[in-house]
Structure 1
Amino acid sequence: MPEKDQAGNGEAEEYASIWQRLERPAKPPRTTLTHEQIAATAVAIADEEGLDAVSMRRLAERLGVATMGLYRYVRGKDDVIELMVDAIYGEEGMPETAPDWRATLRGAAWGLRGLILRHPWLVQVTASSGPLTPNLVARTDRLLASLESLDLDADTRMVVVTTVASFVSGTVGADVGLDRLMRREGVARMDDLRALYASRMMWLLGSGRYPAFENYIRQGVRKDESEWRFELGLECVLDGIAARLGI
């Protein structure tokens, strides 16, 4: 049977998170690495080459240690990803709170957008709920607290916070996907990408089946203004929250 944790509360050792293990009394040191070094190195690899490039072997090579030596600090890649996510949200810092809930959530949304654009692999990690790390939970806690003065129950406050976060992840995720496509096609400008896909687009428009889409393609003038699209979309989300909840 799995060994019980030190708190004696019956939780199986195999389910203890890295954060629980880090708070336990340290064993006699044989330390050559820190968890901060592991996180920073893994983040650097992911930023350069993508999340799939982060492996225990690659991480050990970059850190200059034996692969098995890493297992003194982490159990595997899942632990490494948790350390990475926590480091990234620590980089962002806590969202600034304002007297107005809307200003707080708006600022947090722009902050999260910048974070994902700097670390595009974050979209993969947080596509669902994402790992529960101290800095990520602290961020959520700060945003929930900014809504406590409103006449909303706890469930509704969480829906407000997660709705804004989902908008950010979805919108910026599309931008990240477009950037990946451009890299794969070897182009640096949207006009170059359009030229590559011109024949496909002309076939679609020429079919006459998509008149509203054709109208957008021919008349839209702000297709490449991602910040403008993000700002308008965010304001629509916040307007919808305010109207629906009467806040």
Structure 2
Amino acid sequence: MSNEPVWDRPEPPGKPSPTPLSRNLIVSAAIGLADEGGLDEVSFRKVAAALNAGPMRLYGYVETKDELLDLMVDEVYGEIALPEPGARWRDSLTRIAHGLREAARRHPWFIDLLGGRPHRGPNSLAHIEASLATLDRRPEFPTIDHVLGAVSTVMAFVHGAVRSEISELRDEQATGLTEEQWQAASGPYMQKMLATGRFPRLARVMFDAEHTNAAAFFDTGLTYVLNGIEATTRNPG
């Protein structure tokens, strides 16, 4: 097995074949399988079958499943539009946050691969660099530690919020019930529990809160996070 990162490793020389292969074709096929059925559908055998090729041919391009997953993640990062240099830092971080959410909604498996192992692909690194550049050299963020702290806070919110949103979408698909149908089904039990008076705040959520959609919840939460960062920059003590 090569110690060279997959992005730096040359592809094997082309050979006459009725089924041409490349890393791009392999990654595209793997992403298609994951989009359709989740990460459990991604295997060398299934990717090879989707490309009408023998599984052993794939190993000349990608040596392990971990490498394939890294390539898939990097491909999705490449879909995310980065902010223009010089834009307001709040606008830039908002664009980055929405770009991640939209990518995860297109590719629900993507959120499962964020966090944990580092992503070192060229698109991943470009995304990290652009995120840090939104705050770097601005007076509100005097050191790289201030920059890293703010960006990490936004990313932590985005990953958590999107993970929760995707989890709810999966639950709907698994049960066949929309959120409204699930609430209706569980309504009698919740009514009984709330009638005890032990859960007054939950009662307010059930009866008084405006149940907006996931996009609105995401926007509200992101605004809270950005407001907190902005307030911290004004009052660093």
Superposition TM-score, scaled by structure 1 size: 0.85
1:86 is matched by which residue type in structure 2?
D
Counterpart of 1:121 (choices 93, 105, 109) is 109
Tell me the SS of whatever aligns to 1:217: helix
How many equivalent pairs are there? 230
Report the Cα distance in structure 2 between the residues aligned to 1:47 and 1:207, rounded to whole angstroms: 44
Residue in structure 2 matched with residue 214 of structure 1 by the alignment: 203
Residue in structure 2 matched with residue 62 of structure 1 by the alignment: 50
1:202 offset after TM fit, Å? 3.2
1:184 aligns with 2:169: no
2:4 is matched by which residue type in structure 1?
A
- Once the two structures are superposed, the pairs formed by residues 93-172 of structure 1 within 5 Å of their partners are 93-151=81-139, 152-172=142-162
**Contact in 1 for aligned 2:12/2:60 (Cα 8 Å):** no
1:157 is matched by which residue type in structure 2?
V
Tell me the SS of whatever aligns to 1:245: helix
- Once the two structures are superposed, the pairs formed by residues 42-61 of structure 1 within 5 Å of their partners are 42-61=30-49
1:124 offset after TM fit, Å? 0.7
**Contact in 2 for aligned 1:82/1:133 (Cα 8 Å):** yes
**Contact in 1 for aligned 2:81/2:99 (Cα 8 Å):** no
User: For 1:145-195, what per-residue CA distance to the aligned partner results, in whole angstroms no more than 9, with x for missing partners?
Assistant: 2222214211221221121122111111111111111111112x3221212
Q: Please tell me the root mean square deviation across aligned C-alpha atoms, in Å.
A: 2.0
Tell me the SS of whatever aligns to 1:149: coil
Aligned-residue identity in percent: 32
Report the Cα distance in structure 2 between the residues aligned to 1:35 and 1:239, rounded to whole angstroms: 43
Report the Cα distance in structure 2 between the residues aligned to 1:207 and 1:64, rounded to whole angstroms: 62
Residue in structure 2 matched with residue 30 of structure 1 by the alignment: 15
Tell me the SS of whatever aligns to 1:91: coil
1:174 aligns with 2:164: yes
Residue in structure 1 matched with residue 222 of structure 2 by the alignment: 234
Tell me the SS of whatever aligns to 2:198: coil
Deviates more, 1:152-161 or 1:79-88: 152-161
1:164 is matched by which residue type in structure 2?
V
2:184 is matched by which residue type in structure 1?
A
Counterpart of 1:18 (choices 3, 6, 31) is 6
Residue in structure 2 matched with residue 4 of structure 1 by the alignment: none
1:246 offset after TM fit, Å? 2.6
**Contact in 2 for aligned 1:19/1:133 (Cα 8 Å):** yes
1:86 aligns with 2:74: yes
1:71 aligns with 2:22: no
Report the Cα distance in structure 2 between the residues aligned to 1:52 and 1:217, rounded to whole angstroms: 36
Counterpart of 1:202 (choices 175, 191, 201) is 191
Report the Cα distance in structure 1 between the residues aligned to 2:84 and 2:23, rounded to whole angstroms: 27
1:30 is matched by which residue type in structure 2?
K
Gapped runs of 5+ residues in structure 1?
A: 1-12
Aligned pair in 2 of structure 1 residues 203, 51: CA closer, same or farther (>3 Å)?
farther
